[in-house]
A and B are shown apart, each in its own frame.
Chain A
């Protein structure tokens, strides 16, 4: 395997709050290979967005503070070198945001914003004269080419009347349209690496589905790498090659999409997948309790107070290392160790981990996730799976 495009190792991020110091990210290792889409999955507040903010150097500091770790992009270390970080970010990274309603400037037209992205992309500085011209709306000679490029991109994102949309203000567009514009803005700068921070959560399910499909197409077409952050396992199944399951600022489990969704090993992953309502199975209980308090996190494995398989004297001691029962499938849990092969590990998972209301004893039940009947029933829930898009143009 070649060097990863983006690599985070042993990242620690603290937040200073009134209650004390919160260790929000506690030793996260993560990598995204070239052309790969990686999802980070976890419940709200587990540190997914903080990880993204660290990569995009937009962590609010203070209160946030990066206390350790490395972030390498194409082998170049960025955390200790803000100018390089700024440059790499401007040249190679793009981000799609969560809330399309607030992520576009309300006072400029879509076309104006796209033009600025095209004109200034990759530049970190701009002169006062240039700035004045831009404020006054002076257009350069390549205005027409930029317009065409914007139109072409909007068209690719299936925006009806792309020409008209360019001259409109974001208020005149629906949520789904705005999110497409946001994706277009992120793609305009021709990034190699995209971060998508739950870009579909604010939209209704039919539109969500179209957007994921569109995003998938664009990613494949341009050969981009993407880090997709979501709390929605259904979305992760559709878009990701590999999945990181994150719990309380730590990586609980890493594996390919199928490994994580069909053969989860970590008790938390199992609980998470187990808590998806399914038409074909009985009601499950899910995981009891809440995320821990970050100022005084539990000793050892941060999940052990909620874990049905917690072992006294083991799980509350040291932080568990990442064991690797199968190649590339890593899990931070004392139930497993390096000597185990994939088969044994799965057996352990099935026999040892029992949530109230029944264990996850049939892997094929969870794999019915992708199945349409199961999906439709899950629409109204938090951990949901969008229906496949037969409905067209839900929100125009």
Chain B
């Protein structure tokens, strides 16, 4: 079985998962306590007004019908009206999602770029100074609350040093195409805007990256150490392949599966939980939108945001599954003999 059919199978297997997920989210949102129409209109609104809003939102239909209507709408880009912004949730998401996506992608990239080498260095120097320093950093990274780190970084780099802006996404936005400031400014060949977007991104992305960076470093370290003690490492060594090549080519490739798992999990986790970071940095992102929706019992927005978070999870895991196949032929060939 080739790599292509492996990839195809992985992608197809995502579809039933998404359908199941959409059902779960949709029905859970319906059983949340509190009447969304009543909440939207306020306690003084008349019962007639509430009833007519419920009709308008379709809340009086049987749940199954509601779900089918919702799914039909979803395929046409209609995710229902948000009760707080009074716009279609789809439009809101198109506005808010790219901000969070950009933040998290850059954050995870930083986490991987620093976390993996940190893990390797620690793994190669097991129980020596480098390893202990890495361990200390990892403990700090996971245990320090992100918002606190965020405030410290803001104080240091924005207020005392004045190097970086404290809040917001960009000084003057380029014409909106993808919603990703870095990409848009490049498309508009506006390098001042690109620099500004990058400067705004550095602090929140780095703050966001700390915890996954620590995770990745720990995971890379332990799987690296485990892999380094395997027989084939000695065999390659005695065949005359230099140690550096063994470490960064052979051992890294086979020990990377564990790290990949962590990356996918953290990526999916961050997309829903960047909330505090978005608040502290006044980042107009989806996590903030989602939390507001929950607090307001804005039912369509809740479903919309959760669905997007779930979709990102599914895609992240799919990508990782495919990468497992790339990194380890045993996965492609259906396990060891």
**When each residue 252-268 of chain B gets 1 if its CB lies under 8 Å from chain A and 0 otherwise, what string results?**
01100000000000000
Q: Residues of A contacting B333 with CB < 8 Å?
A: 169, 171-172
**Is B235 in contact with A97, judged by CB distance below 8 angstroms?**
yes
B242→A125 contact, CB < 8 A: yes
Interface size of A as a range: 35 or more
Asked whether A126 is an interface residue with its Cβ less than 8 Å from the other chain, the reply is yes
Point out the residues of chain A lying under 8 angstroms from B245, CB to CB: 116, 120, 126, 131, 134
On whether A89 and B238 interact (CB within 8 A), knowing A107-B328, A108-B253, A125-B244, the answer reads yes
Task: Contact check, A102 vs B232: say whether CB atoms are below 8 A apart.
Answer: yes
Can you list, as one digit per residue, whether each of B180-191 has a CB less than 8 Å from chain A (1) or not (0)?
000000000000
| Residues of A contacting B238 in the complex (Cβ-Cβ under 8 angstroms) | 56, 58, 89, 93-95, 186
Q: Which residues of B contact A169 (CB under 8 A)?
A: 329-330, 333
The total of chain B residues at the interface (CB under 8 A) is 27
In Å, the complex CA distance between A172 and B230 comes to 19
Task: Let me know if B250 is at the binding interface, CB within 8 A.
Answer: yes
Over the window 151-182 of chain A, the binary record of Cβ atoms lying under 8 Å from chain B Cβ atoms (1 yes, 0 no) is: 00000000000000000010110000000001
Residue A113 at the chain B interface, CB threshold 8 Å: yes
Contacts of B241 in A (CB 8 A): 116-117, 120-121
Q: Mark A92-104, 1 if CB is under 8 A from B, else 0.
A: 0111011100111
In the complex, A75 has a CB within 8 A of chain B: no
For residue B247, give the distance in angstroms from its CB to the closest CB of chain A.
9
CA A91 – CA B230 in complex, angstroms? Answer: 23
Query: Do A182 and B240 touch (CB < 8 A)?
Result: no
With contact pairs A97-B231, A182-B235 given, residues A105 and B250 touching in the complex (Cβ less than 8 Å): yes
B48 contacts partner chain A, Cβ-Cβ < 8 Å: no
- Asked if A121 and B240 make an inter-chain contact with CB atoms under 8 angstroms apart, the answer reads yes
Chain B nearest CB from A173 CB (Å) reads 9
Contact A171:B239 (CB < 8 A) given known A102-B230, A103-B231, A103-B232: no
Docked CA distance A104–B165 (Å): 52
Smallest Cβ-Cβ distance to B237: which chain A residue:
A58
Of residues A95, A103, A169, which shows the largest number of chain B Cβ atoms within 10 Å of its Cβ?
A: A103
- Taking beta carbons and an 8 Å cutoff, which residues of B are in contact with A? 230-232, 234-245, 248-250, 253-254, 327-330, 333, 336-337
A sample of 7 inter-chain contacts (CB < 8 A) reads A105-B232, A106-B232, A107-B328, A117-B240, A123-B240, A126-B244, A189-B240
Beyond known contacts A95-B234, A99-B231, A123-B240: 14 more, CB 8 A cutoff: A56-B234, A56-B238, A58-B234, A58-B237, A90-B240, A102-B232, A103-B231, A103-B235, A106-B328, A108-B250, A120-B240, A126-B244, A171-B329, A186-B238
